A and B are shown apart, each in its own frame.
Chain A
């Protein structure tokens, strides 16, 4: 009788341990799934493409890379265009690239300052700069 009690208690203990173990595994799996889901959702928002790649062009401006590398949760890749390439995030869209455009001065990274500041003058102007 006493031996049966011991056997019953051991079986009950093993059964309880199995249940706890199963619950632990399920909770762990749920955690992993939730983490993955959050990562995908968050990555979708933050992994917007950065116009980052600069390459020489016809506009005459010096160029430099200013961009950051987009994060990617699904392994999509950005397009490489002459310089470094950027990952473009979970949406799978391609990376974009820019080169310094427009003016005769300034690279991609900063607004170009004039060779010399405007000098004072008296009287009227040959031309007027104002709002359009």
Chain B
């Protein structure tokens, strides 16, 4: 099953990337994630591994994932090492006026699951899709609110300097 959600964030790609590259900060915006632990030495970058779980119906599904693509500031992708088969990707593209279009693609399933696998993928899709959508909305709020805060702090600092 492949799901895609997107959002336009009012910050340039390099700023948006800095948030996505900080894997430890994902719990600030990812919705439905019940586990997001570092596995191994690398905490970020290509080859970094995480133990992740996402709530889907009666189970928390996921497993060990590894960052398999790290193309700053354009693409960040991961793939499953153990657990259910999954691939995910954040795709960042300039959207004009200093903003960025962030696309989150998520593909999941169980190889060999047959008809029940096909059915369970479709039945779980609405809740997972909702989690992806909410995650992107929270991500947009996080990036834009911190940007506004920085702008406000800079504006406050200017009169004092003047």
Query: Real complex partners, A and B?
Result: no
